[in-house]
Structure 1
Amino acid sequence: MVKIVITGHGSRLSKGNSALLNSRIRLIKRFIEDSEFTIFTFHPEISYKPEMKYLKNVKISFYEVPFKFSLSFRELPKTIFSILKIVFCRSISPYLKDLREYKDADLIISTGGDVLTEDYGLVDFINYAGNLLLGIFLKKPVIIFAETVGPFKHRLSKAIAKYLLNHASLITVRGEISKKYLNTLGVNRAPQYLTADTAFLLEPPPLQILKQILEKENIKDSDILVGITVSELIPRYDFTKTRTLKDKYDKYVEIMASVTDYIIEKLGATVVFVPSVIGPVYDDRRVADRIYKIAKNKEKIRNIKNEYTCEEIKGIIGRCSIFIGARMHVTVFSTSLHIPTIAIAYSRKTYEVVGMLTDYIIDIRKGLEYDAVISVINEVWLNKEKIKEMLASRMRKVRQRALLNGILLRNFLRSLQI
């Protein structure tokens, strides 16, 4: 039995996190059938069991990540203990359950997608990097698996990233931007491959289950549906002259409410708000609620409040005529199902992961304006059949790249003669 540790998982309440984890497990099982998994998560208090609905016959156990770093005084004891774990990991690994799991693993694999970056701050990066460095210090093969790498702003983060990546056993990145950044960073020791995000391979649920979900949410399959995922996080990245975070948030809500009314009135569609993140900090449903309250055409809005698995979220999105996503992985879901997609981006990961599948990316860092959004919606709506054909053609190459992650992992494992 091949023992695989996947480290750095967030929580099931982010369906992007869940899609990464579930698609990695399925892909690895496809190429390494005799495998079992230990998942290290930052939120062990949030059960993953509901998200395992479509993962059959897989042995999985969950633990809290062994390394947790914080600048909070209240978390100081845990931070000191985490640092001591890294420094003395070899000598104390027999006595700590989490380090024993690392020590007993045949492979240690990353998850998170865009966590090897400073886009979310230096502390977040140190946390993700620290849990991978533990594997390297314990002399285990560490695989950087279908990740986005960079950017880094500080000398410290660049030094940590360069050391980590140069000591990895295999690196696969999910886009050209990261491949080039590895060279800029001075990463030249580990084998590097250009692949694609594993979530492109995630399968929607059986049709009968999807029909039950649509009925529960009062979504008529016969209606013209436009899906929208809004985000509590994304207004923070509006780098225009809007001053306060509250002003940015209010502006975002007002624009998206007006966009919603336009879609209903001019396109004759029902708008379905599809949440991608429902905790533990941000919750897309709260933004959708705010938009619903000020939108005029409430009878043509379906605001999904129930929690569904990442596979079920993908299935719902697959019923839409076009899709507008402010969370990156929902645009992975939509494009992989050949749904014409408008992505609202706040970092380069959107350009890297879905840029080859959609020409319609609105970068909120440059500002979000109603007229610009409507112009893009009209163009996508007018050309939706051509866009579907284009997506069907391009997705074949993307799926092959996503599958390459599993092939490379299997070949690496064979080279170890495990």
Structure 2
Amino acid sequence: MKILISGYYGFENTGDDAVLECIVAGLKEKGIYDVTVLSNAPYVTSSKYGVKSINRNSFKDIFNAIKNADVIISGGGSLIQDVTSSKSLWYYLSIIFLGILLRKKVYIVGQGIGPIHRRYNKVLASFLLKRVDMITVRDEDSLSVLKELNIDKNVILAADPVVNLNVCSDERIEKILKDEGIDKNRYIVVCTREWGNNELSRVELAKAIDAISMKYNLEVVFLPFYYKKDELESQKVANYLKSPYKIVRGKYEPNEILGIIKKCSLLIGVRLHSLIFALVALVPFIGISYDPKIDGFLKSVDSKIFKIDKFSSDEIANYAESILNHRDKFIENLKIHLKSLRELSKNNFVYLKNNDDEV
């Protein structure tokens, strides 16, 4: 069986790279190795994941790849939404449309669906998604969005594929921490991202980080998930800090980023996959939401939701105190949710038969 995967790949975004890694691993577990990925950096993607890869911006290459594939997978991530832009949504829907047009099996896998704000985008998404063979989503909120689009057939609740990510070796983690000058086991990780120009949110986040760092004697480590792009936002927050801090500058693979998180005492994350990484690492975390996809994840693990434009530093600091003062209980709760989500994640591959080339 020949599979073509479409997603936001080849952009040096740790979360999306981890999604691809876990989808490819899941396919290989099912005995499927003939995989092609649409990527912004085909050579890098091919060498990293042992797959074929083509330029996601070449219509000719995309058309030929779809024509030669048996199955089209759209996912994971948040592809079916128009918050980023209508152009982004149309790109991913066009891949789905070509798959349907060329009579291929088309599956939406492990995605967070929505929000879709514009009426014509809703109509287009509804028309095409009703015609795919199966949709697996990573949270209950995505099910609600699909229901609003009048899509309720061939829809299955699953989980983000990243819940199955493996961590690198302890030796590799220790080398990374040494290279970055980080004192292992005595640091708090902050994973932020640009969202508007809300200076007040940066100030409040910095105050909260200072309060937690000083109370528990923890070093502050900013960990960019989008290579280079998140460094700028990290620095903007860090400029308001009184505590000493470090910004991780190296370029690391998802399993290495997971290793850095594994050794920290607490993670504060604005990026969705930083929170999922913390869950996988069984590290206490606090999520600050700028998007419904983060709300959906935090709900799924019974975690408190802080809105990026509404939280106060005292609220974050107090919540951190309640977590760290009852750390063992919090981690036991994480173990329960991780086990549940890993079980659900198997639904991302229910359309495939073990060690078989049939769909």
Match of residue 218, structure 1, among 155, 168, 181: 181
Instruction: Tell me, yes or no, if structure 1 residue 35 matches structure 2 residue 33.
Output: yes
Cα deviation digits, residues 198-217 of structure 1 (max 9, x gap)? 01111111222111111111
- Label 1:153 to 1:174 Cα distance change in 2 as closer, same or farther (>3 A): same
State the identity as a percent.
Answer: 24
User: Which letter maps to 2:162?
Assistant: A
Give the 5 Å matches for 1:101-116: 101-116=65-80
Deviation at 1:360, TM superposition (A): 2.4
Q: Contact 1:200 / 1:399 at 8 angstroms: preserved in 2?
A: yes
Q: Contact 2:168 / 2:256 at 8 angstroms: preserved in 1?
A: yes
Give the 5 Å matches for 1:70-149: 96-149=60-113
Match of residue 296, structure 1, among 242, 255, 265: 242
Deviation at 1:320, TM superposition (A): 1.2
Where does structure 1 differ by over 4 angstroms across 4 or more consecutive aligned residues?
none
Deviation at 1:170, TM superposition (A): 1.1
Q: Contact 2:76 / 2:160 at 8 angstroms: preserved in 1?
A: no
- Label 1:23 to 1:354 Cα distance change in 2 as closer, same or farther (>3 A): farther
Cα deviation digits, residues 94-131 of structure 1 (max 9, x gap)? xx433111111011101241121122232221122112
Instruction: Tell me, yes or no, if structure 1 residue 268 matches structure 2 residue 217.
Output: yes
Instruction: Tell me, yes or no, if structure 1 residue 59 matches structure 2 residue 51.
Output: yes
Aligned position for 2:8:
9
Aligned position for 1:286:
232
- Label 1:188 to 1:362 Cα distance change in 2 as closer, same or farther (>3 A): closer
What runs of 5+ residues in structure 1 fail to find an aligned partner?
A: 68-95, 237-244
Aligned position for 2:290:
346
What runs of 5+ residues in structure 2 fail to find an aligned partner?
A: none
Q: TM-score, normalised by structure 1?
A: 0.80
Q: Contact 1:275 / 1:284 at 8 angstroms: preserved in 2?
A: yes
Aligned position for 2:330:
387
Aligned position for 2:132:
168
Q: Contact 2:9 / 2:20 at 8 angstroms: preserved in 1?
A: no
Match of residue 398, structure 1, among 341, 347, 358: 341
Q: Contact 1:11 / 1:46 at 8 angstroms: preserved in 2?
A: no
Deviation at 1:188, TM superposition (A): 4.1
Give the 5 Å matches for 1:191-270: 191-221=154-184, 223-232=185-194, 234=195, 236=196, 245=197, 248=198, 250-270=199-219
SS at match of 1:171: strand
2:27 & 2:346 partners in 1: Cα distance? Answer: 10
Cα deviation digits, residues 134-192 of structure 1 (max 9, x gap)? 11111111100011112322221111111121111111111112123222211145x11
2:358 & 2:165 partners in 1: Cα distance? Answer: 29
Q: TM-score, normalised by structure 2?
A: 0.93
SS at match of 1:128: helix
Deviation at 1:288, TM superposition (A): 1.9
Aligned position for 1:93:
none
Larger radius of gyration: 1
